[in-house]
Amino acid sequence: MKRVVLFIFFLLNISVFAQKNVAGFGIFVEPIIPLKMFRISSSEIYREGAIFTSKPLSGYTLGTHVMVGISPYFSLETGINYVSRDFKISMLDGDFEEGFYINADNFEIPFTVTYNIRLLDKLYMGHSLGVSLQLIPSNLYKRHSERDQQGVLQYSFEHMSFRKAPIYPTFKGGFGFEYRTKEHGYFYIGPVYHLFSEMYVTKLSYYHKERNRSINNLDIKTVGDYFGIQIRYTITPKEFKRSKIGLPDYSDFFD
């Protein structure tokens, strides 16, 4: 965590000493896609004849985008985003099956540096690298159960996910292509990858009276890395006043 704070401090100081020349604001949507090639896959655990599964499903990110240009090639980017991801937690015990869907949502504040390359007159390619602070609001809990007419518990399947910390640092990287116009703004599309360990400690409990099953505090992997495709629109950046120390004007690069 200390390294993350120092890295953010370093980024902020770059923008101060470089005297930012242009800045822009935008919005984006980022569909989240579960792909095995990016370590995003189902987890299975076998215990006492039962199979427990945690399967990541699709999700999305919505947010704002703030860009500050600090040189002809580099820009600093931040914002605040809402992240929503779904998971299916299931259990199979012979011919008896139970499961439910879990929604894990949180906010994030990214701090990234982007290196921009001009490919054509209005087409650019950007490579981004940085950190993202995940703000996790609460623990997750869900339970399915059934009782008979006398109130005796027949079965119970329970999920509990405890957040590791209210603020969790992650690595964020990606690249994409941006089409820039003075009249209509900037249009961007590209893949984004978030790399980190699990944000929650997840445990499952299962009880079935007739099958004589009683499994408690079973550990299983849930909320971790995610991969998405970012689609972004940015209002044409505006130029700041030049600094008193006479740094060059880089606004032409962002036209």
Asked whether residue 231 carries a pLDDT value surpassing 60, the answer given is yes
**206, β-bridge pairs:** 157, 215
- How is the chain split into domains, by residue range? 2-254
Mean per-residue pLDDT, 175-190: 93
Interval 138-169: pLDDT, tens: 999 999 999 998 889 999 999 999 998 899 88
Rounded Cα gap, residues 143 and 69, in angstroms = 49
Q: Which residue has the tokens 């087409």?
A: 123
Q: Work out the percent of the chain whose per-residue pLDDT is above 90.
A: 60
CATH topology assigned to domain 2-254: Porin (2.40.160)
Please give the C-alpha separations between residue 213 and each of 54, 94, 205, in angstroms, as whole numbers. Answer: 20, 12, 10
Rounded Cα gap, residues 109 and 19, in angstroms = 23
Rounded Cα gap, residues 22 and 135, in angstroms = 29
State phi, psi for 7 to the nearest 5 degrees: -65, -45
- Three-point CA angle 157, 161, 167, nearest 5°: 170
Structure tokens at 49: 């004849």
Q: pTM to 2 decimals?
A: 0.80
pLDDT at 224: 78
Rounded Cα gap, residues 195 and 171, in angstroms = 5
Asked whether residue 102 carries a pLDDT value surpassing 70, the answer given is yes
